[in-house]
Amino acid sequence: MCLECKRYIKEGDSVSQFDSICEVQSDKASVTITSRYDGIIRKLHYNLDEIAYVGKPLVDIEIDASKGVSPEEDVVETPPMSHEEHTHQEIKGHKTLATPAVRRLAMENNIKLSEVVGTGKDNRILKEDILNYLAKQTGAILPPSPKGEIIPPLPKSETVPAAPKDKARKTPLPVSRPLVFSGKDKTEPITGFHKAMVKTMSAALKIPHFGYCDEIDLTQLVQLREDLKPLAQIRGVKLSFMPFFIKAASLGLLQYPILNASLDESCQNVTYKASHNIGVAMDTEQGLIVPNVKNVQVCSVFEIASELNRLQALGSAGQLGTNDLTGGTFTLSNIGTIGGTYTKPVILPPEVAIGALGKIQILPRFNGKGEVFKAQIMNVSWSADHRIIDGATMARFSNLWKSYLENPASMLLDLK
C-alpha cells in the first residue's frame, strides 16, 4: 500500500477523533485514514510516497489523559483494506458497517446511517452510498473538494454539474528555455493505480487480440447533443458524447451478448454477463483508472450522463471506491478527448472486448447525392478476445453501434 502525497498532519499536531491523518492509495482505491483517538501526533512512521505495510503502525498518537483513557501512546495502524476498514456501529439493534471516514461524512451532513443502503460487502456503507444519498436528496451532483473534505449538501436551487476536469493540466506548458538535465537517473517504486496497470496489462498480454476499426459520421449526434446539452444542464448534469456511445454499446450488446462475457482461466467456460457494467477509461492525476457505469441496459442516456459525472468527479478527486472500480463487463476508452484517430486498445481481463474512440474532426465527406458536406467524423478501434470472438461478430456489433450513433433517433426504437 502506498502513502500518497496528501498528509494532513505533522508530528506535534493535536488531533481529534475522525480528523484526517493521510490519504493512502492501494492498487484498487485511495482513501482517507482518520484518527481513532483525541491526542497528539508523536511519531509518523512513514514519509510521503513510501510504501506502508498492512497491519504495521502508521502514526503514534499520545492519548489525552483527561479524556479518561490511558495516557500511553497508541498507534493507528494501516488498515488491511484501504477502502473498507472493519468498523461497526450499532443502530437500532443491528450493526451498520461503515469506516470512520464514512461515518464522519454522514455525521457532517446530518445523515442517519440507518437510512442509507450500503452497497459494499455485507451491506457495508461506502462513501459513494452517502454521496448518492445526498445527491438523491438534493438532486445535485456533489463535487468532492480537492482535499477529500466533506461538502455540505446544496439546496435544490444551487445544483451544479460535476466539476470539469483540470483543463490546464492537459495543455502542455510552453518551454521558454532549454531543459536542464540533472544528469542523475532516478528509480522509484511503481505504486497505486500504476501497479494495478502493470498487473492488468500483463494479464491482458495472454489474450490474442483481434482488431477492427471503422469511421463513424457523428454529424447528427453532434447536433442532437447541442440541443440536449442545455436541458441536461438545467437538471444539473453535463452531457458529453460518452453517454450516447455507452448506451449505443449496451443496445449492441443485447444483440451480441458474447461481447459482454468472460472466459474462465482454463478457457473451458464462457459466462454471459446479465449486467452491462460499462467501463470508461479515465485519465486522472493518479493515472489511468476504469470505473464502470453499472447496469447500463436499464439506464436512460440522462442517467448514464449523471452517473458519469459522479464517477468523473470522484475520479478526479482520487476518491473512487472499490465498487465503482470493479465488476466491469465491457469497456470504452475515449482517448479522442486528448487526440488521435485510430488506436490499439488492450482488453481488460476478464472482459473480452474494448472500444477506443478517436477525436471528432470536421472532414469533407459525400452525401447520398454525391455532394461534399462538412461531416463530424470519429474513428473507432475495437479489440476483441479472438479465442471466443470472431471478426464477423465484432464487425456486425460495430455496424450496429455505428448505425445507432449515425442516426441517433433510431436508438428510440430500442430503448426500454
Residues that bind ligand CAO (CB under 6 A): 165, 240-242, 280-283, 288, 308, 312, 333-338, 357, 359-360, 378
Four-CA torsion 31, 36, 37, 40, nearest 10 degrees: -30
User: Which residue carries 452525401 as its cell?
Assistant: 367
Q: How far is the CB of 287 from ligand CAO (least distance, A)?
A: 9
Four-CA torsion 20, 194, 318, 288, nearest 10 degrees: 180
Of 100 and 291, the one with the shorter C-beta distance to ligand CAO is 291
User: Which residue carries 439546496 as its cell?
Assistant: 155
Q: Which of 89, 119, 120 is closest to 107 using CA atoms?
A: 89
Of 124 and 310, the one with the shorter C-beta distance to ligand CAO is 310
Q: How far is the CB of 351 from ligand CAO (least distance, A)?
A: 14
Beta-strand pair 2-7/14-15: unpaired
Q: Identity (one letter) of the amino acid at 305?
A: A
The rounded distance, in Å, linking the Cα atoms of 111 and 405 is 41
Of 78 and 312, the one with the shorter C-beta distance to ligand CAO is 312
The rounded distance, in Å, linking the Cα atoms of 145 and 23 is 14
Of 1 and 314, the one with the shorter C-beta distance to ligand CAO is 314
Q: How far is the CB of 246 from ligand CAO (least distance, A)?
A: 9
Residue 6 burial (C-beta neighbours within 10 Å; 0-12, 13-18, 19+): middle
Asked if 296 and 278 touch (Cβ cutoff 8 Å), the reply is yes
Q: How far is the CB of 292 from ligand CAO (least distance, A)?
A: 12
313 torsion bin: left (phi>0), alpha (psi -120 to 50), beta (else):
alpha
Q: How far is CA 415 from the centre of its chain?
A: 25
Q: How far is the CB of 240 from ligand CAO (least distance, A)?
A: 3
Of 116 and 280, the one with the shorter C-beta distance to ligand CAO is 280
Of 105 and 131, the one with the shorter C-beta distance to ligand CAO is 131
Active site residue 390: yes
Phi, psi of 199, deg, nearest 5: -65, -50
User: In this structure, what C-alpha cell is assigned to residue 283?
Assistant: 485519465
Active site residue 74: no
The dihedral through the CA atoms of 107, 110, 112, 115 has a sign that is negative
The dihedral through the CA atoms of 262, 264, 265, 267 has a sign that is negative
Of 100 and 345, the one with the shorter C-beta distance to ligand CAO is 345
Of 125 and 242, the one with the shorter C-beta distance to ligand CAO is 242
Q: How far is the CB of 201 from ligand CAO (least distance, A)?
A: 9
> Which residue number has the CB closest to ligand CAO?
336
Asked if 159 and 138 touch (Cβ cutoff 8 Å), the reply is yes
Asked if 381 and 353 touch (Cβ cutoff 8 Å), the reply is no
Q: Could you say which of 38, 49, 386, 414 is catalytic?
A: 386
Q: How far is the CB of 284 from ligand CAO (least distance, A)?
A: 7
Angle between helices 391-406 and 242-255 (to 10 degrees): 130
Q: Could you say which of 86, 166, 264, 390 is catalytic?
A: 390
The rounded distance, in Å, linking the Cα atoms of 259 and 254 is 9
Active site residues: 386, 390
